[in-house]
Chain A
Amino acid sequence: MSVLLSVQNLTKRFGGLVANNDISFDLKRGEILSVIGPNGAGKSTLFKLIGGFIKPTAGKVIFEGEDITGLPPHVIAERGIVRTFQETTIFKEMTALQNVVVAHHLQCHATTWGIFFNSRRAREDEARFRDNAAEILEFLGLSKVLDEPAGSLPHGYLRALGIAMGMAANPTVLLLDEPYAGMNPEETDQAVELTRKLVQRGITVILVEHDMRAVMRISDRIVVICFGSKIAEGRPEEIQSNETVIEAYLGREDAALGV
């Protein structure tokens, strides 16, 4: 598998606090990579750095051979790295369908003037986005709530809606922020299946997650960070038996690992 995304010596300091310290890893095309670590380890900071929402103090992010460090988020999304947020981050006052239609922004062929004058191309765009949005929502099992205001949807649906919006942006890499948080085991099973289906569609996935059981089941590889530094990287079974990881991070929670 070829290297798609390469994080090289990424460091982020907030004043005296080192949120990310010299983190490096590679993401290969078509895999599922999980980033785990205790609360405050710097996982979300890492996501924000990759997505361009904050700029690193040092280090580089290389995507498809090009340096994308420090580019603004909309440019990084255009290149193909799309970040989904935790469940509450959706456009609450729009319907589920509108959320996903709006998220097709990057696939717009019409110009701003064309959109204003409702040109043929703008109408074609709109029709295409609606069809595609409906298809994505059906793929994620949301076709029943197309016209519901997004703000009134239950938790599980919200998370799927966030993923739907990410998919609408047609990403090469999808950054999923805690996709399984707050789910019961049954819902988690479905969500894990869903993540696999994303990969079958050709999307490469990085996810940040707390649910160890789900992470161990779904990940091809895992990166563990603790106090801002990478302490381990490897296949799930390697991580489960890694002394440093167990000591530094999972020491008292090894039952959750199933070891």
Chain B
Amino acid sequence: MTPKYLRLATVAVALLVFFAIIPLAFSASPYVLNVLTNALILSVIASGVWLTFAIGRINIAQGAFAMIGGYATAILSTRYGVSFWLCLPLSGLVAAAVGVVIGWPVLRLRGVYFSMISLSITEAVRLAFLNGGEFTRGASGIINIPRPDAISIFGITLVPEFDGTSPLPYYYLAVLILTLTLLSLWRIANSRLGWTFRSMRMNEELAASIGVNVAKYRVIAFAICCFIGGVGGSFFAAFQQNIYPATYTVNDSIFAMLYCFLGGLDYIAGPMVGAFLLVISFELLHPLQQYQPLIYALLMIGFMLWLPNGILSLPLFERWMADTAPRPEEGGRAEPAGAVSKVSSTGRSGA
């Protein structure tokens, strides 16, 4: 099988497993379904971050945008009675809008400076919700967020109401959201848009010289990232039926980034692989949970040193990836995604 068909077959098998086999096997085990739903939506949120890696920015702000999406859903549904199905895309749009406003000035920064700012965005947004007064209800958060209601057209029920007796509907919805997210990212990565993003990661000055409006495209990438984060946050709000300023912390932003590193920045499935691996392994190693940040940190250092291109770059997966983009020559990915890009490229000439 050529790599192309191998990948198609892998996707087909994955869809079958997620949509049919897992629900059948674990329908009696809400715990397993809850863990998987968690992993699925964390994959969605991390997939957004993957796109900012594509333009060469290490983004540690995703927790903030998941939180904005979550609060948008919480406020719209509890206060204005908006249906969850409308809240879901709206929350994404709210997060994207905030992303554009914050991203426009902040994305001028590169490398470690952008990362530092993005880290503080997570904290700033948390504090904003904490001090939001009656609007966000401060530290006590917003509780009793309604479950997704039924969708029916002309009296025919397309989606039954989520009654909370089984986590299965949430699980299906999470699989659907992840599928759509990965499909969108796959389209972006394989279209001209993806090449434009990559060209900016490799050299923004050169991209500008061939006519790319660098400022515009990096805001587009960041807005898509925030949209995806907002949708993920919206789902979590309805899934857990509550949201607090402490729901997303700097840790969550860092984990979203870590999932990308772990899976591999070159691969659309990277964030998903990373999220599933870490979420599930920590469920299995429950007694170690208190050391989670420590183990994550060690893992991250280890991966940067020994496997800078992620798990999917292992020879084991080579057959799947054989015909994708050319490999960087000098293993340059040790500086993540060329984020520390060459500012001055006019080496040895005169002034």
Residues of A that sit less than 8 Å from B by CB: 19, 37-45, 51, 53, 72-74, 77-78, 82-86, 88-95, 98, 101-103, 105-106, 108, 110, 112, 115-118, 122, 125-126, 149, 151-152, 165-166, 168-169, 177-178, 181, 208, 210
Contact = CB atoms under 8 A, between A and B. Distances in A.
Contacts of A181: 349
Nearest to A228: B351
B341 to A, nearest CB: 11
Nearest to B215: A72
Interface in B202-229: 202-203, 205-206, 208-215, 220
B198 interface: yes
Interface string B318-351: 0000000111111010000000000001111111
A1 to B, nearest CB: 26
A85 to B, nearest CB: 6
Given A43-B351, A85-B345, A93-B332, 19 more contacts: A39-B349, A39-B351, A42-B350, A44-B349, A72-B213, A72-B215, A88-B345, A90-B203, A91-B206, A93-B198, A93-B326, A105-B196, A105-B210, A110-B192, A112-B193, A116-B184, A151-B330, A168-B210, A208-B350
A90 B351 contact: no
Residue with the greatest number of chain B CB neighbours at <10 A, chosen from A37, A85, A166, A168: A85
A82 B209 contact: yes
B329 A73 contact: no
Contacts of B188: 116
Contact of B329 (A38, A105, A151, A177): A151
A100 B211 CA distance: 13
A19 B220 contact: no
Given A41-B351, A86-B349, A115 B192 contact: yes
A84 B351 CA distance: 16
A127 B66 CA distance: 39
Contacts of B199: 91, 94, 102
> Which 8 A-B residue pairings sit nearest by Cβ, starting from the closest?
A77-B211, A106-B211, A151-B329, A149-B326, A73-B208, A39-B350, A103-B210, A89-B345
Interface residues of B, number: 37
Given A89-B345, A102-B199, A42 B351 contact: yes
Given A85-B346, A89-B203, A89-B206, A44 B351 contact: yes
B192 A44 contact: no
A84 B188 CA distance: 27
Contact of B350 (A40, A92, A116, A152): A40
Nearest to B204: A73
A115 to B, nearest CB: 5
B347 A88 contact: yes
A112 B220 contact: yes
Contacts of A115: 191-193
A91 B198 contact: yes
| Most interface-central of B184, B215, B329 (chain A CB within 10 A) | B329
Nearest to A95: B326
A127 B213 CA distance: 23
A72 B210 contact: no
A140 B345 CA distance: 23
B187 interface: yes
B195 interface: yes
A82 B329 contact: no
Question: Which among B187, B214, B351 has the greatest number of chain A C-beta atoms within 10 A?
Answer: B351
B351 A108 contact: no
A126 to B, nearest CB: 7
A51 B195 contact: no
Interface string B162-175: 00000000000000
A83 B212 CA distance: 13
A82 B205 CA distance: 12
A122 B332 CA distance: 31
B351 A93 contact: no
A43 B349 contact: yes
B202 to A, nearest CB: 5
B346 A44 contact: yes
Contacts of A39: 349-351
B325 A93 contact: yes
Nearest to A81: B209
B350 A73 contact: no
Contacts of A83: 209
Contact of A108 (B192, B205, B209, B332): B192
A169 B211 contact: yes
Contacts of A102: 192, 195-196, 199, 210
Nearest to A52: B208
A112 B213 CA distance: 13
Contacts of A126: 192
Contact of B187 (A77, A110, A118, A149): A118
B51 to A, nearest CB: 13
Given A40-B351, A41-B350, A91-B203, A73 B192 contact: no
Contacts of A110: 192
A125 B328 contact: no
Nearest to A150: B326
21 contacts: A19-B351, A39-B349, A41-B350, A43-B351, A45-B351, A72-B215, A74-B208, A82-B209, A82-B210, A85-B345, A86-B349, A88-B347, A89-B206, A91-B199, A93-B198, A94-B202, A94-B325, A105-B196, A115-B191, A115-B192, A149-B329
